[in-house]
Structure 1
Amino acid sequence: MARQKWRDILPRYQTFLSHMIPILRETRRIIQELDPDLLYDTEVLDKIREEEEKRNVRKVRALAEFSAMYRSNVYQIMKDFIVKYRDRISLIDIKDYIIDFLKESVAALRILRNITNPDQKNLEKTYLYQLVKFIEQRLLPKGSSIKLIYEKLLNYSTEFYESQRHLLKTHTYYREDLKHPDFFLIPGISPKVYQIINNITSFFNLDPNYGPFPEREKYEIPMILKQEVFLPYIDDIASAEEDAIEAISERIGLRVIDGIFLAPQERFVDLLLENNFLRKNEQSDEKIRLIPQFSNETLILHYLAFASRRRGFLSKELINWIAMNFAFLVYMGILKWKLNDENIFYSIFKDLQTNEKVLPYLMKLICFPNYLGLDKTKIRDSPQYRKEIFNFIGAEIDNLQLLIKEVASYCEKIAKEKKDNNN
């Protein structure tokens, strides 16, 4: 098994970042010293790149290949930019733009490389710690009870519910062992389970039954028939049907009553009442009927609160998905902060080949106890698996754009506080 200590993982995370910085820094120096008129002929850049590659041959193979690929991409981007604008704006302006874009990129890489401390001293002041906690508070907060966690999630759900839901909808759910499930483990929400939750919401809101509240006299709680909800999906959720039904129900705050009904758990009833997802209606027989008025969000947030509270029991796929999203948000938030939206080198940072070299190690760092407290040994090292989830996360970026902007703004706040403290 690969070594999983902080001092082993951090240098691996920093390796490729440390090789990207001098390439951009040296490129910036070269462009600064270059006569703007020479930029018109892009073959000049090809010759410069070839000379630079000859000067950087003493590296291990993996680093040499990455450096060559990275430098080639940098020069190709500059060439494309020059060709596109050389007949529209002056070569002096083109040169200045390239220099500024390179300067921004180096600044972003330096923040990423120095995102935390090797010895973990004063970690509360590091970018990694502060950003993870900032995101965690919105998407996967910690708390002493599901109720407290649920309320924290609810506070941010108006702005970030799409991101909260996204955190549960793993795109590698099909890797879970459905034939031999471990019901102590909490998986992500597959499309089938999402349909089940959607149907449960509809049944509760449109046509619920009502029955005695087992823990409280004179109260009636809404109930729906278990069979109506699960029967169409029983072959998809597991072979051990009853266990699967109870496990899914528990994660969304429900329970099985008399073997045939689904109804809210007692503690979930209190939570629903406090947040107006249940309303009291006094009947003619003086019994108080609790009328449901909730949405998918009501149940999804309970699932997320349940997963957060029991994060030591998350499935391997869910751990990888959560860690990937957190790493992506930290990474993209820093880029959003440091790079102008027009920066021509943005694409390199978002390139799959770059992400593969940086994000997997950032995922592991984020899993350590002082951060998310997830099982970092479950982070997959398979290159094919990395490509799989990186491709999916790119496809879902719309869900996270608002949060990326918030992370970028928070980076600015952290930087200002650091500057004020140093003065």
Structure 2
Amino acid sequence: MSSALRPALFSTAFSCFFALLGSVTSTVSIRGTNCNFSIHFKPHSPLDPFCNASELRHNFLHAVTCRGYLRFPIGEHSLAEMNQEIDRILEASKDVNNASSCSEVKAFYFNESAWIFFKFPDFGRQEEPNFDRLAAYWIEDLRGKEGQFVPFPPSDEWISLGEAYSREDFEKLSKDEKKQKSAICDPFVWFYDKSTKAFRTLNFKEAIKIGDPFARREELMMCDQNEKSSQVDPIVDKHNVTDVGTVWSLPTETPRDVFHSQVYATYHLRSERETDGYHALFWRSNSTQVEDFLKGERDEYPWGNYCHLRRYRLEFHELPQAFILPKNEQMPFLDSIPEATESFTPSFTKANRVRRGVTKQLKSFTTTPYPGQMKKDKDDYEARRAGWVEEQEKGSQAVFPVFASKTR
């Protein structure tokens, strides 16, 4: 793909975004680049079909808890059998390392055989006597761990990145305290970028380097104003086919309502909070289009549809941070080639906004959200809901999943 098809950071993303507002189609051409929004605007629906596990038979589904992780070979299991077996193993392992407080954990691609786990405090547990502000990472070789629950090592074996704080508590620290504690603000929105070998946010490009995590920390004396959780697609990045779409972000009422736990070769896992907890949705891309896209023979992002993969089991300390990996990177993600999917044409009428998920997000909670900062969400949920209703009635603001690009 020519350099003309690789626009600078945000310029194409935002050009496409504003062009789309005045467009009646989901594909807009800006400066020679086709901006296909079908993947970004396709809504989740309660009618999403269940995933076909046989298409993922050569993959491993990784379930992450605050205690460890499970690398489950999908194989010949049906979707129901897979989830039942995962539930059984997680329930049997829920009390592993129960002497320590549950932390939040996110998982990111490190290399073909290893993933990097990033742990940080569950701010909903600050009143517990063993509450720990440690933000740290652990690099884990996943090979040979199939079918078993693998406990995380003790906290003192993780590599420290400093102390983590909520936005509210971070702003209460003095400059000297931030420096002394190597304080990190709002770790939920941080992600690992393998191209820079650093933990970063969308605005802090190379904030915390692996191998030298405490260098240049004076640059992190403030909170990143971007409150969105993001992921890097390591396979798209490795093929270097485009600079757009490799970092994903979903602006919602809170970063925890809807976010990606993984983006891989344009396929992705999306976690959505419903009234009964969190659900894992798999974006089933058209594999022919994926192959052409990675070869640089297709400009538009591959189309696809969501399917329902799993309901997270919060009672077993499972976190909405699942990820799927093939046995090796040379294997196709899907075992079959689905037919092309029609693109989604966004329409910003009030009725269509409701169909796109507004109604779902306005429901009151009937269960406690997964551990952490989200325990606080319930307290102000009614106020946020009222704000949503007001905005939708005005018709003055559409809430979009936005994608951005990485920088080098």
Provide the TM-score with structure 1 as the length reference: 0.24
Higher strand share goes to which structure?
A: 2
Higher helix share goes to which structure?
A: 1
Compare CA radii of gyration and give the structure with the larger one: 1
